[in-house]
């Protein structure tokens, strides 16, 4: 499993390869779910289960883009997934660059 951290590079998942942007994670906020949350209740402690349509523990990150240093977007990454699952502020899905 990888750790979401400041300075991690990400790239957009874009249908046009010539327009893919690269950015840097500039803020990471960890969010937890209560033990009585729907996710933990449905998975019954089996956190390795693939519950795609359930909100899971993870991180909200802010990304600063290299093509425009004034532009920030926010993305949600669930634990253990290297692709954002929720993209805020008009951003595309982003993937961690390894």
- For residue 46, the Cα-to-chain-centroid distance in whole angstroms is 21
pTM: predicted TM-score of the whole model, two decimal places: 0.82
* Residue 90: predicted pLDDT: 72
Residues of the chain with pLDDT under 50: none
To which residue do tokens 């009585």 refer?
36
Helix runs in 1-98, H state only = 38-43
Interval 52-74: pLDDT, tens: 567 888 999 999 999 999 999 99
Q: How many residues does the chain have?
A: 98
């Amino acid at each position: 499993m990888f750790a979401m951290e400041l300075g991690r590079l990400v790239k957009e998942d874009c249908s046009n390869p010539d327009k893919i942007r690269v950015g840097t994670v500039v803020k990471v906020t960890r969010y937890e779910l209560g033990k009585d949350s729907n996710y933990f209740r449905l998975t019954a402690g089996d956190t390795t289960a693939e519950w795609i349509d359930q909100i899971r523990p993870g991180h909200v990150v802010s990304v600063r883009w290299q093509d425009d240093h004034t532009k920030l977007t926010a993305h949600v990454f669930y634990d253990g997934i290297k692709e954002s699952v929720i993209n805020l502020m008009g951003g595309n899905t982003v993937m961690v660059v390894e």
